[in-house]
Amino acid sequence: MNVDKIVNERKRLEYIVDNCKFETAEQVCELFEAYTHLIWKYKQVGRIYDFYYDDMIIHREGGNDLIGIDQVVQDTLACLAAFPDMEFKFYGIHGVGNPEEGFRFGQAVHFAGTNTGISKYGRGNGTSLPPHECVDLCECLIKNVNGRWRVVEEWGTRSTETMDRILKGIRSSSIEKIQEHPLPEENQAPNGELEVKEEILVKG
């Protein structure tokens, strides 16, 4: 992707985020897909303060909850410090709700990135996250708080063990098997099975 395409894509995403009307669940899904790309691909981490309530909670597996918006920002920055090229690849996103009662949406993504930065385990080892092996699932509750739409609560789970393994530079036995028996080319479905896509599958 050349510079012009990168700039145009970023402007398109910014327009979606800055002009959402919050009238339908589909609009909310489009907003948070664009918002996610701006934070991770374009490193606009400050936008977290635009859409997360100050005292919000992210409930995570194992009791590793994030309480308050500052912890969310710190967690995001730590991840980007370890994987400077981190991106989220969407499997799908789906929302429900209305302007009167608020909205909920759920999304499924997988991470793509290479550990070239710094983490709690030290300097990066140059290991990339295996495709589709580090997955994140979350559900968000969005309410109008003092005239502004904010995420007030989130429930999520991610492949924490896979992330830690990559940061430690430990190879996975599953990766060894893949190298011995390569998978079909991406998005090609053997025997007529459904193909896996990395873009939005369902909205609304």
Q: Which CATH number covers residue 74? A: 3.10.450.50
pLDDT at residue number 194: 42
Instruction: Give a yes or no: residue 80 inside a domain.
Output: yes
Instruction: Give a yes or no: residue 123 inside a domain.
Output: yes
Instruction: Give a yes or no: residue 146 inside a domain.
Output: yes
Examine the pLDDT at 142 and tell me if it is beyond 70.
yes
Examine the pLDDT at 183 and tell me if it is beyond 70.
no
pLDDT at residue number 182: 54
**What number is the average pLDDT over the span 96-123?**
96
Instruction: Give a yes or no: residue 197 inside a domain.
Output: no
pLDDT at residue number 62: 83
Question: With a threshold of 0.75, does the pTM exceed it?
Answer: yes
- State the angle between helix axes of 3-18 and 25-40 in degrees (0 to 180), rounded to the nearest 10: 140
CB atoms within 10 A of CB 74: 13
Instruction: Give a yes or no: residue 200 inside a domain.
Output: no
Burial code of 184-204, b = ≥16 C-beta within 10 A, e = fewer? eeeeeeeeeeeeeebeeeebe
Residues 47/73, Cβ–Cβ less than 8 Å: no
pLDDT at residue number 61: 86
- Percent of the chain past pLDDT 90, that is, above it, reads 78
Examine the pLDDT at 139 and tell me if it is beyond 90.
yes
Examine the pLDDT at 186 and tell me if it is beyond 90.
no
| Mean predicted lDDT score pLDDT of the chain | 87
Instruction: Give a yes or no: residue 49 inside a domain.
Output: yes
Print the domain residue range for 136: 3-192
Instruction: Give a yes or no: residue 9 inside a domain.
Output: yes
Number of domains in the chain: 1
Instruction: Give a yes or no: residue 201 inside a domain.
Output: no
pLDDT at residue number 173: 53
Q: Which amino acid is at 64?
A: N
Examine the pLDDT at 140 and tell me if it is beyond 60.
yes
For residue 169, name the pLDDT band (cuts at 50, 70, 90): confident
- Lowest mean pLDDT of 13-17, 71-75, 171-175, name the range: 171-175
